[in-house]
Every structure is written in C-alpha cells, then in structure tokens.
Amino acid sequence: MFPGESFSSQGHPQGTLELFHVEKGTLKCVVGETELLIPAGSSAVAKTDVPHSYANGGRSKLVFTMSVTEIHQ
C-alpha cells in the first residue's frame, strides 16, 4: 500500500479470521474498537467479523501479506 492508502470493511461472516504479516513499513489495523500497529517483521491475527480497516499511515510503501479464513458451518 502507498502512503495514505486505506481499506475498510463492514465485516465478514461470523468466525472469519485474517492473518497479516508485514514485510516493510507499519500496518495500522483497526478492528472494532481496537487499533493495532504491526511493524515490519511482525504478524497478527484478527477476528474480522466486525467492522475493520487497515491502512498505511507512514511515509513509505507498506508491503504485507494477508490471508483470510472464512469458516462456514
């Protein structure tokens, strides 16, 4: 993501999880009322069945990988 770029979602089906791994920069992830700052070399898992967003609030390019798991019952 480029500086200032962001994405938001109203939430996914119940039980959905997202795994983030940041390679370069810092990922700002807001899930519900919780804000996470995930620096390069770190990973985080978030339950994303609630409104959430992620953004590059830095001044350099953000490189990260995201995997989404939707559990259907």
DSSP code at position 4: T
Tell me what pLDDT residue 73 has: 67
Dihedral pair phi/psi, residue 30, rounded to 5°: -115, 120
pLDDT tens per residue, range 37-52: 999 999 999 999 999 9
pLDDT tens per residue, range 15-72: 999 999 999 999 999 999 999 999 999 999 999 999 999 999 889 999 999 999 998 7
Furthest C-alpha separation in the chain: 42
How far is C-alpha 47 from the chain's CA centre? 10
Instruction: To the nearest 10°, report the CA torsion of 29, 35, 40, 46.
Output: -60
The domains found in the chain, sorted by start residue, are: 6-69 (2.60.120.10)
